[in-house]
Amino acid sequence: MRKILFSFLIIAGIQFSFSQTTTYYLIRHADKILTTKKDPDLTTRGIERSNLWAKVFEDVQFDIIYSTDYNRTRNTAIPTAKQKNLEVKIYEARKLFNPNFLKETKGKTVLIVGHSNTIPFLANKILGSDKYQEIDERNYTNLYIVTKTEEKTDGVLLHIYD
């Protein structure tokens, strides 16, 4: 009986530590129509890339998907959200990182779709260091993965090409 109880406590402890791991996947919106309009739509290539992101994230079990309230970001997030049967939660790019955000996402797997001038800086805020620079306007391929536990926070940048 002691062995069974001890084994259960070890397994429960492992599961508890896993549940306290928070993973953030951060991407910039897909290819947008170049215009002076404030809220441009995605190009045909951008729509294809949005579907590619859904394929990239096929095996990721997201708990929350965030997007800014722009056509290009929402439409980048929608294919993944539909695949995961999740709603896209709208956020203000400059106000996302706050104590409520950290509390709401703790222990979860989160996708955040934003912009070239916000996503790297949000990744930096989560990391607590200035590791990433602003994304070049022509770059739609960056995938930042930031993992946060009680002990440490780590980040990696991948380039997802089609």
**pLDDT tens for residues 22-66?**
999 999 999 999 999 899 999 999 999 999 999 999 999 999 999
Query: What pLDDT, on the 0 to 100 scale, is given for residue 4?
Result: 45
Range list of H helices, the chain: 2-19, 44-56, 71-84, 99-105, 119-127
- Structural fold of domain 22-159: Rossmann fold (3.40.50)
Cα–Cα distance between 93 and 114 in angstroms, integer?
7
- Residue 133 burial by CB count (10 A; 0-12/13-18/19+): exposed, middle or buried? exposed
Domain spans, the chain = 22-159
Task: Give tens-digit pLDDT for 138-151.
Answer: 999 999 999 999 99
**pLDDT tens sequence across 109-131:** 999 999 999 999 999 999 999 99
